[in-house]
């Protein structure tokens, strides 16, 4: 028996984008933007909702929370630029709290977290694991790679992929 779309459980993709100054080097953010354009297209086709959180400057900032994927995301993606510090830990904390509240409101919703980062943070504190499948995409492109994104993924119990593997 088919269910009307309105009765099917929703899927939410929470995307955290590290847009710190270090991602400007070696076209890391440009490559991430290409990946994001494809991701938004996939989300639209799968009727997933998106939440977008950027980590740049002094703090993490929500761009969208639970928006249906569509053309409205293109202006945000076009304007996405890199600069400032790396408030990635702040973004991960905010995301965990937001997902927890959303899970209470929409218990049937399937949640996924996608993190795009070059992992260039000074220290990696103890991180809280998300209560849903997570994928960390390492966008580090510098000639000498620090490899901190691998450790961040390990602490978050997230699957790890380098963006070069996805293209």
Q: Cα(20)–Cα(54) distance, rounded to whole angstroms?
A: 9
Task: Tell me which residue has tokens 């390990």.
Answer: 154
Choice between 145 and 9, residue whose per-residue pLDDT is larger: 145
> Average pLDDT in the 48-67 region?
91
Q: Cα(99)–Cα(84) distance, rounded to whole angstroms?
A: 26
Residue 122's CB is within 10 A of a number of other CB atoms, namely: 7
Q: Quick: pLDDT tens for 23-57.
A: 888 888 899 999 999 999 999 999 999 999 999 98
Which of 160, 140, 162, 146 has the alpha carbon at shortest distance from 22?
Answer: 140
Q: Cα(85)–Cα(71) distance, rounded to whole angstroms?
A: 29
pLDDT value at residue 6? 54
pLDDT over 90 (residue 1): no
Topology at the third CATH level for domain 10-166: Rossmann fold (3.40.50)
pLDDT value at residue 2? 56
Percent of the chain with pLDDT over 70: 94
Q: Quick: pLDDT tens for 129-146.
A: 999 999 999 999 887 778
């Amino acid at each position: 028996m088919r269910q009307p779309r309105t009765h099917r459980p929703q899927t939410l993709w929470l995307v955290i984008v590290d847009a710190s100054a270090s991602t400007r080097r070696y076209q890391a953010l440009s490559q991430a933007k290409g990946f994001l354009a494809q991701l938004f297209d996939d989300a639209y086709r799968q009727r997933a909702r998106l939440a977008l959180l950027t980590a740049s400057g002094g703090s993490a900032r929500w761009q969208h929370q639970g928006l249906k994927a569509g053309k409205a995301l293109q202006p945000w993606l076009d304007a996405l630029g890199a600069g400032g510090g790396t408030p990635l830990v702040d973004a991960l904390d905010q995301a965990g709290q937001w997902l927890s509240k959303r899970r209470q409101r929409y218990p049937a919703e399937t949640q996924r977290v996608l993190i795009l980062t070059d992992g260039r943070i000074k220290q990696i504190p103890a991180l809280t694991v998300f209560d849903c499948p997570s994928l960390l995409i390492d966008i580090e492109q510098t000639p000498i790679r620090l490899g901190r994104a691998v450790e961040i993924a390990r602490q978050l119990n997230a699957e790890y992929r380098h963006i070069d593997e996805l293209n």
